[in-house]
């Protein structure tokens, strides 16, 4: 039940990824009560939380050096899945040098709604990121 | 000279999308909520009608986990009129309130809210 008040109140829901619904109701009693009271509501914010969100960037059959620079706000962590022995992600500026291997960068940002950018060899590849 | 590979076709684009829609009046409900474009609020429409209910549905489609905040203003006669938010993914009764021992209550379980 909502708090009866003419001033604005808030209610929050923690919602997992996927499709969901919330029913909202304003009920009036069965007594003689014909007042013009009402319920007003609106969604004021949807804030993405960190759980489950990550971005991936995949390079297959790599034939040249790739320099990757990514900005994901505060990054919780990142890791790579790679074939071969030459795939490495260096800590100094996220520069990777590979030779004939495949490479998949997985980045888990602290806040998935943060500004995201990814440069690959100085080309903006932000729109090529895959979100999981 | 090795010019590398074009990786564009190997990548799926996209950024997380978290959206919602509003069903102003759910099926079987006698009244719904009207959107007030000047205030941004959805407003119940069963004012002046005893034993009635306005029921709307907020439909969520999220690609990531989210915290949803709803702001509301509830003008209601204490113990007789109620603004109610259902639990997530729980259908609520669409009829009005029935008299209880202490004022009125919904016809379905309070655990739905």
What tens digit of pLDDT does each residue of B12-55 get?
Answer: 333 446 789 999 999 999 999 999 999 999 999 998 888 889 99
| Residue in B51, B62, B77 closest to A18 by CB | B62
Q: What is the pLDDT of residue A58?
A: 77
A8 vs B92: CB contact, 8 Å cut-off? no
Q: What is the pLDDT of residue B71?
A: 95
Residue numbers of B between 62 and 101 with CB closer than 8 Å to A: 62-78, 80-86, 88-92, 94, 96-99
Residue B61: closest CA among chain A residues belongs to which residue? A19
B42 vs A130: CB contact, 8 Å cut-off? no
Average of per-residue pLDDT across B48-77: 88
Share of chain A above pLDDT 90, in %: 15
Average of per-residue pLDDT across A18-25: 94
B43 vs A13: CB contact, 8 Å cut-off? no
Give φ, ψ of A69 to 5 degrees: -130, 120
Q: What is the pLDDT of residue A112?
A: 61
**Domain boundary assignment for chain B:** 16-103
| Nearest one of A39, A7, A57, A96 to B42, comparing CA atoms | A39
Higher pLDDT, A101 or B47: B47
Across chain A, mean pLDDT equals 70
For residue B55, the SS3 value is: strand
Residue B67: closest CA among chain A residues belongs to which residue? A14
Average of per-residue pLDDT across B100-109: 68
Residue A40: closest CA among chain B residues belongs to which residue? B43
Provide the pLDDT confidence category of residue A127 given band limits of 50, 70 and 90: confident
Residues pairing with B3 in the sheet: none
Q: Mind telling me how many Å the CA of A112 is from chain B's nearest CA?
A: 8
Q: What is the pLDDT of residue B39?
A: 93
Q: Which residue has tokens 């113990």?
A: B79
Q: What is the pLDDT of residue A40?
A: 95
The predicted-structure confidence for A49-86, as pLDDT tens digits, reads as follows 644 567 777 777 766 666 677 776 655 555 555 555 44
Q: Which residues of A touch B109 (CB under 8 A)?
A: none
Question: Which of B20-24, B55-59, B99-103 has the weakest average pLDDT?
Answer: B99-103
Please enumerate in sequence order all residues whose Cβ is within 8 A of that of B104, keeping only pairs 6 or more positions apart, or say none: A27, A29, A30, A31, B79, B80, B81, B82, B97, B98
Average of per-residue pLDDT across A42-49: 85
Asked if residue A80 lies in contact with residue A103, where contact means CB atoms within 8 angstroms, the answer is: yes
Higher pLDDT, B17 or B56: B56
Average of per-residue pLDDT across A29-55: 73
Q: Please check the confidence at residue A101 and state whether its pLDDT lies above 80.
A: no
Q: Which residues of A touch B70 (CB under 8 A)?
A: 10-13, 22, 24, 41-44
B83 vs A8: CB contact, 8 Å cut-off? no
Mutate to test the interface with A, among B38, B75, B91, B96 (most CBs of A within 10 A): B75
The predicted-structure confidence for A3-20, as pLDDT tens digits, reads as follows 666 788 999 999 987 899
B77 vs A30: CB contact, 8 Å cut-off? no
Residue A126: closest CA among chain B residues belongs to which residue? B13
């Amino acid at each position: 039940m909502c708090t009866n008040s003419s001033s604005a109140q808030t209610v929050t829901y923690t919602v997992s990824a996927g499709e969901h619904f919330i029913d909202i109701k304003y009920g009036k009693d069965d007594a003689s009560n014909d007042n013009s009271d009402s319920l007003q509501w609106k969604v004021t914010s949807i804030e993405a939380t960190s759980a489950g969100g990550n971005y991936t960037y995949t390079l297959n059959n790599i034939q040249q050096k790739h320099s990757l620079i990514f900005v994901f706000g505060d990054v919780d962590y990142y890791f790579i899945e790679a074939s071969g022995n030459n795939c490495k992600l260096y800590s100094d500026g996220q520069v990777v040098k590979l030779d004939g291997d495949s490479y998949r960068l997985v980045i888990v940002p602290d806040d998935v709604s943060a500004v995201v950018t990814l440069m690959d060899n100085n080309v903006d590849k932000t729109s090529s990121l895959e979100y999981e | 000279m090795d010019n590398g590979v074009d990786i564009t076709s190997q990548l799926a684009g996209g950024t997380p999308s978290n959206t919602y829609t509003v069903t102003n009046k759910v099926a079987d409900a006698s009244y719904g909520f009207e959107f007030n474009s000047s205030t941004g609020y959805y407003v119940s429409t069963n004012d002046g009608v005893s034993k009635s209910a306005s029921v709307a549905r907020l439909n969520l489609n999220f690609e990531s986990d989210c915290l949803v905040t709803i702001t509301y203003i509830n003008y209601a006669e204490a113990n007789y009129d109620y603004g109610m938010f259902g639990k997530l993914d729980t259908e609520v009764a669409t009829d009005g309130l029935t008299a209880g021992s202490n004022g009125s209550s919904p016809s379905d379980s309070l655990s739905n809210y």
